[in-house]
Amino acid sequence: MAKMWAGRFTKELNKEVNDFNSSISFDGVMFESDIIGSIAHATMLGKQGIISEDDSKLICKTLSEILEDIKNGNLELDLEAEDIHMFIEAELTNRIGEVGKRLHTSRSRNDQVALDVRMHLRKEANEVMALILDLINAIIEIAKNNKETIMPGYTHLQRAQPITFANHLLAYAAMLKRDYQRFSDAFERMNYSPLGSCALAGTTYPIDRNMTAELLGFYGPTENSLDGVSDRDFCCEFASAASICMMHLSRFSEEIIMWCSWEFKFIDLDDAYSTGSSIMPQKKNPDICELVRGKTGRVYGDLMTLLTMLKGLPLAYNKDMQEDKEAIFDAFTTLKQCLSIFTPMLQTIKVNKDNMRNAAAKGFINATDLADYLVKYGMAFRDAYKISGSIVAYCIENNKVLETLSLDEYKKYSDLFKDDVYEAINLEKCTFKRNSFGASAVESVEKQIELINEFLKSINE
């Protein structure tokens, strides 16, 4: 097929070069954005008298038909085409001849592709944000049922202090809330139309960039024509938001993998969301979590691809930028896939409350509370900390736990110890007394749920 830019050339393009240059295999997914963008452009050209109203109408009508035909499977993308923009324009000209050739007046593929990517990513971002909200909702539901489920909280993966499973889960809701906000912030910054930047320098035609921006649901036109065609910050921002979100899912996955191991058995995954081993009959593997953890690296790779591709590019458009699509599309596809499978997997876990409670009863998880007890009776925290540490050492040596030491044994370390020490180190007491803002106590967890619900409500308003 002769190239649209063939005029200046005397030879046909080498076949391998054509394939190397072509992007339709991966930018074909933007066909809808491309066509809708072109309809807005043609409408504006007609309204401004740059082309006739009749031509404008015919172009718009035919573009709509092309869109329908692609959607219905009546028109296949031609992989020999250089990219989706050339393909649609060629198809338009095939159908209406001369008139089709007027569409590209005062436009370049440079502003066209910048527009298409933005429009395509708006859709992708909306889908991701909806999936993040689904996961937050799933977390809230499980948290509600586990406000009193005591588990060991860890630091350095060593049992640290008792917490509730609800509080642990709500940490992920807080992370996902930020993820949502990151996507939404990036969306707000991106939602400006580059159309009309043309190749890089704008145009002498009396175009109306505000009109196309408005027709296409943008807040307005981008302010600088060179920036309009060479800005891919939004790809980096989305890939960065996707990377951070994947990192959160990966940490969550890692915990789930541990929790469903025989060593923990805090939860069980539903059979529908785990896999077996080909040789070991007893195995039930958390493959989904492992894949999510693994795919995180791939999304980080997409971010690196984008940042590295842009680094050192002079203004304005350079063909390097064609590489933006595979990276950013992959980041979105991967994240969407991970979120859509992670949420139902989480919704179907079985929480083994007894195992969590039993694990919390070991490991001197209430040693801080023992120190706090002495502080309550007037001792300085550092001294109390030291005494509590010595008592733990004594217990370990004598195979005892804090709950079973006699009052006489306690008194050897300090006269401040009284009968009420047992209540102070009672696991339920020390968990549910931690009622500071954001903590594990039932009322603190309820406050967190209330706040996250308010956030969810504010989105729907």
Q: Does 317 interact with ligand ARG (rule: CB under 6 A)?
A: yes
Q: Does 111 interact with ligand ARG (rule: CB under 6 A)?
A: no
* Alpha carbon distance 1, 12 (integer Å): 9
Q: Does 109 interact with ligand ARG (rule: CB under 6 A)?
A: yes
Q: Does 113 interact with ligand ARG (rule: CB under 6 A)?
A: yes
Q: 319 or 382: whose CB is closer to ligand ARG?
A: 319
Question: Least separation, in Å, of the C-beta of 328 and ligand ARG?
Answer: 12
Scanning 260-323, the segments in alpha helix (DSSP H) are 287-310
Q: 23 or 164: whose CB is closer to ligand ARG?
A: 23
Q: Does 34 interact with ligand ARG (rule: CB under 6 A)?
A: no
The answer to whether 206 and 50 are in contact (CB under 8 A) is: yes
Name the one range near ligand ARG by CB under 6 A: 33-41, 63-71, 313-321, 405-413. Answer: 313-321
| Size of residue set near ligand ARG by CB under 6 A | 10
Name the one range near ligand ARG by CB under 6 A: 47-55, 108-116, 212-220, 304-312. Answer: 108-116
Name the one range near ligand ARG by CB under 6 A: 140-148, 216-224, 301-309, 318-326. Answer: 318-326
**Contact map string, positions 350 to 379, toward ligand ARG, x by CB under 6 A:** ------------------------------
Question: Least separation, in Å, of the C-beta of 110 and ligand ARG?
Answer: 5
Name the one range near ligand ARG by CB under 6 A: 72-80, 107-115, 190-198, 261-269. Answer: 107-115
- SS3 state at 320: helix
Q: 107 or 159: whose CB is closer to ligand ARG?
A: 107
The question of whether 156 is a catalytic residue gets the answer yes
Q: Does 27 interact with ligand ARG (rule: CB under 6 A)?
A: yes
The answer to whether 237 and 128 are in contact (CB under 8 A) is: no
The answer to whether 106 and 203 are in contact (CB under 8 A) is: yes
Binding ligand ARG (rule: CB under 6 A), the pick from 13, 23, 213, 236 is: 23
Binding ligand ARG (rule: CB under 6 A), the pick from 37, 41, 50, 83 is: 83
Binding ligand ARG (rule: CB under 6 A), the pick from 43, 93, 106, 110 is: 110
Q: Which long-range contacts (CB under 8 A, 24 or more apart) does 44-47 make?
A: 44/207, 44/208, 44/211, 44/212, 44/215, 45/102, 45/103, 45/105, 45/106, 45/207, 47/208, 47/211
Q: Identify the active-site residue in 156, 278, 406, 436.
A: 156
CB count in 10 Å sphere of residue 32 = 16
Q: Identify the active-site residue in 52, 64, 261, 277.
A: 277
Tokens of 415: 């006269």
Binding ligand ARG (rule: CB under 6 A), the pick from 105, 184, 322, 333 is: 322
What contacts 239, CB < 8 A, 6 or more positions away?
Answer: 299, 302, 303, 306, 327, 328, 331
Q: Which of 128, 105, 138 is nearest to 38 (CA)?
A: 105
Q: 317 or 385: whose CB is closer to ligand ARG?
A: 317
Question: Least separation, in Å, of the C-beta of 55 and ligand ARG?
Answer: 24
Q: Which of 429, 377, 433, 427 is nearest to 402 (CA)?
A: 427
Question: Least separation, in Å, of the C-beta of 106 and ligand ARG?
Answer: 15
Q: 92 or 292: whose CB is closer to ligand ARG?
A: 92
Query: Cis peptide before 316, with omega less than 30 degrees from 0?
Result: yes
Question: Least separation, in Å, of the C-beta of 7 and ligand ARG?
Answer: 15
Question: Least separation, in Å, of the C-beta of 317 and ligand ARG?
Answer: 5
Question: Least separation, in Å, of the C-beta of 53 and ligand ARG?
Answer: 29
CA distances from 321 to 21, 63, 87, 110, 113 (A): 12, 26, 19, 10, 10
Q: Which of 419, 435, 432, 331 is nearest to 377 (CA)?
A: 419
What contacts 339, CB < 8 A, 6 or more positions away?
Answer: 128, 131, 132, 134, 135, 245, 249
Q: 25 or 322: whose CB is closer to ligand ARG?
A: 322
> Residue 106's Cα: distance from chain center in Å?
37
CB count in 10 Å sphere of residue 419 = 8
* Alpha carbon distance 233, 412 (integer Å): 66
Residue 193's DSSP bridge partners are 221
Q: Which of 248, 231, 86, 87 is nearest to 181 (CA)?
A: 248
Question: Least separation, in Å, of the C-beta of 5 and ligand ARG?
Answer: 9
Q: Does 321 interact with ligand ARG (rule: CB under 6 A)?
A: yes
**Residues lying near ligand ARG in the complex (CB under 6 A):** 23, 27, 83, 109-110, 113, 317, 319, 321-322
- List active site positions: 156, 277
